[in-house]
């Protein structure tokens, strides 16, 4: 997926999880942060960030903050909506007969339902934006919703579905994602239980540019 209208800026601060203040060539602008995670190791005062101006009428903010360069030089896409978009594009090129986004299963809305012949698949997508020493970790903040989705995928395997948890790695150079048990032990437990019942865990490596996130 590619963004239009990308603008470079300098990150100043983040008053709350929804907004940030940035410096655009000497002008202070309040922007929307498209990631409600902590991102504390990324959004450090003085770092380079990139903004997208979607042009939606009636918005309170002109820009969305979509990418940031970490102090180690790695560029991260932190748009929480981007993983589903790139996976949708990627799935269209796979050998599925049908791909249905936002599929209701049990008490959850699962990101994708796919079919291939008589086989039925359920896929939940998670974006990884936390990197430590070349390894990705998820989540960067406790996620009850994430645990719920793992429980649903676990149940789905028992109902005959092929269930897949897909991590979209929103940075270059990382090929593995581990559960961040220090931040959310319950997610690690739920992931282990899901894998034990047959849930497949898929890591999708990506290339990131200020205006681009693509699966490689």
Digits of tens for pLDDT over the chain (216 positions)? 999 899 999 999 999 999 999 999 999 999 999 998 889 999 999 999 999 998 888 889 999 999 999 999 999 999 999 999 999 999 999 999 999 999 999 888 999 999 999 999 999 999 999 999 999 999 999 999 999 999 999 999 999 999 999 999 999 999 999 999 999 999 999 999 999 999 999 999 999 999 999 999
Torsion of CA 202, 93, 171, 7, to 10 degrees: -150
Global confidence as pTM:
0.94
Residue 212 is encoded by which pair of tokens? 């681009």
CA dist 44 and 70 (Å) reads: 8
Buried b (16+ CB within 10 A) or exposed e, 76-103: bbbbbebbbebbeeebeeeebeebebeb
- Maximum Cα interatomic distance, the chain, rounded to a whole number of Å: 59
Q: Quote the pLDDT of residue 55.
A: 83
Nearest to 138 by CA among 88, 76, 205, 191: 191
**Contact between residue 199 and residue 157 where contact means Cβ atoms under 8 Å apart:** yes
């Amino acid at each position: 997926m590619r963004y239009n209208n990308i603008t470079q800026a300098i990150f100043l601060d983040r008053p709350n999880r929804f907004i940030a203040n940035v410096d655009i060539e000497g002008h202070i602008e309040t922007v929307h942060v498209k990631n409600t995670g902590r991102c504390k190791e990324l959004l450090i005062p003085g770092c380079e960030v990139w903004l997208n101006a979607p042009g939606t009428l009636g918005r309170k903010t002109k820009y969305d903050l979509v990418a940031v360069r970490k102090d180690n030089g790695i560029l991260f896409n932190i748009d929480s909506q981007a993983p589903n978009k790139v996976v949708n594009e990627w799935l269209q090129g796979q050998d599925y007969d049908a791909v249905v986004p936002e599929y209701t299963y049990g008490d959850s809305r699962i990101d994708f339902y796919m079919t291939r012949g008589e086989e039925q698949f359920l896929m939940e997508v998670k974006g990884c934006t936390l990197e430590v020493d070349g390894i990705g970790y998820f989540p960067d903040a406790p996620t009850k919703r994430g645990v719920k989705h793992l429980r649903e995928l676990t149940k789905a395997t028992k109902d005959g579905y092929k269930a897949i948890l897909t991590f979209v790695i929103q940075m270059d150079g990382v090929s593995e994602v581990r559960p961040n048990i220090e931040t959310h032990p319950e997610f690690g437990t739920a992931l282990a239980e899901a894998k034990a019942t047959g849930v497949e865990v898929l890591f999708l490596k990506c290339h990131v540019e200020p205006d681009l996130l693509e699966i490689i």
